[in-house]
A = this chain, B = another copy of it.
């Protein structure tokens, strides 16, 4: 957050309570997502991607710019147009693991979410910490992450897990397994395995 930047201290005083506004806004529109996607350039042929995002109509771009300014990371990008929306959608997006680990996660640990999105955030944190340990670079670790994404989104089967040959014979027609944050799941056993002790 901006408080880490000495030059930002004065500006921050102009927005009292901005941290709680961010928490509320993210409780409403934020998304913590983990994806396992095809990437032939990776040793296992698959890559784990992570993103913290907030989506708004273009008319609220200033609110997304405010997030860039306050977090001092991420950027505002255009969402692909879908048939459901008449207006252009923009997305505040933080994908860099370093930004997530050093800025986004500490912020929401200090200022907890108040909705069920807190559970998504906690799952997100566990996966990121496992990745910090390099566990996802092993076949067993990657398989474990893919299982977590299935728990996080019960409606969607992991493409990675669907194909037992996935690691050795990646196919360019395979789509990514994208796991958007949902209100469900149980990461208790995961936590116990990776974080305790």
By a beta-carbon cutoff of 8 Å, the part of chain A in contact with chain B is 16-30, 56-57, 59-60, 62-63, 66, 86-87, 114-117, 155, 183-184
Provide the bound-state CA to CA distance between A87 and B87, in Å. 27
B residues in contact with A30, CB < 8 Å: 28
Instruction: Select from chain B the residue with minimum beta-carbon distance to A116.
Output: B59
B residues in contact with A17, CB < 8 Å: 17, 19-20
Q: How far is the CB of A155 from chain B (nearest CB, A)?
A: 8
Q: How far is the CB of A178 from chain B (nearest CB, A)?
A: 18
B57-A116 in contact (CB<8A): yes
Q: List 13 A-B contacts (CB under 8 A).
A: A17-B19, A17-B20, A21-B21, A24-B26, A24-B27, A25-B25, A25-B27, A27-B28, A28-B30, A56-B115, A62-B114, A62-B115, A87-B183
Q: A25-B114, A26-B28 are in contact. List 12 more A-B contacts (CB 8 A).
A: A17-B20, A20-B21, A21-B23, A24-B24, A25-B28, A28-B30, A29-B29, A56-B115, A60-B117, A60-B183, A66-B114, A86-B155
Per a CB cutoff under 8 Å, which of B19, B29, B62, B87 touches A28?
A: B29
Instruction: Select from chain B the residue with minimum beta-carbon distance to A24.
Output: B24
Provide the bound-state CA to CA distance between A104 and B185, in Å. 35
Instruction: Select from chain B the residue with minimum beta-carbon distance to A66.
Output: B114
Instruction: Select from chain B the residue with minimum beta-carbon distance to A19.
Output: B17
Q: How far is the CB of A64 from chain B (nearest CB, A)?
A: 9
B20-A60 in contact (CB<8A): no
Max chain B CB contacts within 10 Å: which of A21, A66, A155?
A21
B residues in contact with A155, CB < 8 Å: 86
